[in-house]
Amino acid sequence: MSRKEKILNCFNARDELSIDNARYQDFTRRLFNFLLEEDLGKGDVSQYPPAAFGKKIECAIIVKEEGVVAGLEEIIFLLGQYRVKVLTDFLDGDIIKIGDVLLKLQGEAGKILALERTVLNILQRFCGIATMTARYQSRIGRQDCFIIGTRKTLFGFWDKKAVQSGGGLTHRLNLEDAVMLKENHLDLLKKNGVSIFETLENIIRKNKGLRFIEIEVTYEQEFWEMARNLEKVKFDVPKVLMFDHFTVHQIRNLIEEMQKRGIYDDLLLEASGDITLETVSSYAEAGIDVISSGALTHSVKGLDLTLLFNYQNK
């Protein structure tokens, strides 16, 4: 198996983040209904007289800012639950430009007005995350290195799906998905005299189907210590080491030493910690497999979209 295939086996959650997946579909429906109920309250009091808002209309969501589209699968599914027909010429991951008609909606005017803000909020966030992800991925410049999202999300699975639509991959979907021993885990284990190696083996025995096991390291001595612990684990589970706030120079030197010692092929490597659009390419060039960034999801700006009834003249 190639190194790229190993990366995809660990960090590609496309099947789990599909509307055809029962768990993801249920999550999508429940979160949308929660957001919609919060916005609607007891109903839209502005829709008066009722007869003016009960007619069937066609309207459109128009692009006001260039970016990458995401969230179409979710919005089409959700609007179908409310008997609003959706037409589009785009697929998730496509580039969209100012003035593009992203979606045409056909249904009762009042129903579309009631759904409008919730739909736009979701779609704008999806597209904003996908657009930022695509920018990071284009800076990486390697076909076997990926930007990945983290659990620093507002909308959980949706944010992770948006990252994948933008060409990135995702970290754990939740805490049961993979083993991740971070600084606080290691501190507690060491203070209590617990073996890291035995901890990993026991976790793997108790949890079948783990996507990977990973340990975060913060300095060079710890890196080699945890690399040895992972090397001793003989279970057939992908093993990952995360460089937390290491410099590019440090990472490059450690990877060269791993190759000399013959352990590079056995471990996947992640870089994390204040990595920006300006620095992401240098980390990729150092030999990293995945680069995680909470900025993809925790503070991204939504892409500018608008819904118009009289869109033909715009």
Contact assessment for residue 215 and residue 179, using Cβ atoms and an 8 Å cutoff: no
- The model's pLDDT over 71-127, given as tens digits with 9 standing for 90+, comes to 999 999 999 999 999 999 999 999 999 999 999 999 999 999 999 999 999 999 999
**So what's the pLDDT on residue 51?**
87
Contact assessment for residue 181 and residue 216, using Cβ atoms and an 8 Å cutoff: yes
Averaged pLDDT score across all residues of the chain:
94
CA distance 79 to 87: 11
37 and 162 assigned to the same domain = no
- The model's pLDDT over 20-73, given as tens digits with 9 standing for 90+, comes to 999 999 999 999 999 999 998 988 888 889 888 889 999 999 999 999 999 999
Q: Would you tell me the crossing angle of helices 72-81 and 22-40 to the nearest 10 degrees?
A: 70
> What's this model's pTM, rounded to 2 decimal places?
0.94
111 and 150 assigned to the same domain = no
CA distance 216 to 296: 20
- The model's pLDDT over 244-285, given as tens digits with 9 standing for 90+, comes to 999 999 999 999 999 999 999 999 999 999 899 999 999 999
103 and 233 assigned to the same domain = no
* Residue 2 included in any domain: no
56 and 87 assigned to the same domain = yes
26 and 169 assigned to the same domain = no
181 and 209 assigned to the same domain = yes
Q: Is the pLDDT of residue 201 over 60?
A: yes
26 and 113 assigned to the same domain = yes
The count of structural domains within the chain is 2
113 and 41 assigned to the same domain = yes
146 and 294 assigned to the same domain = yes
Contact assessment for residue 123 and residue 130, using Cβ atoms and an 8 Å cutoff: no
151 and 259 assigned to the same domain = yes
152 and 122 assigned to the same domain = no
Domain extent at residue 77: 13-132+301-308
252 and 159 assigned to the same domain = yes
* Residue 3 included in any domain: no
- The model's pLDDT over 248-258, given as tens digits with 9 standing for 90+, comes to 999 999 999 99
What's the one-letter identity of residue 10?
A: C
DSSP letter string over 54-112? Answer: SSEEEEEEEE-S-EE---HHHHHHHHHHTT-EEE-S--TT-EE-TT-EEEEEEEEHHHH
Per-residue confidence band for 226, with pLDDT thresholds at 50, 70 and 90: very high
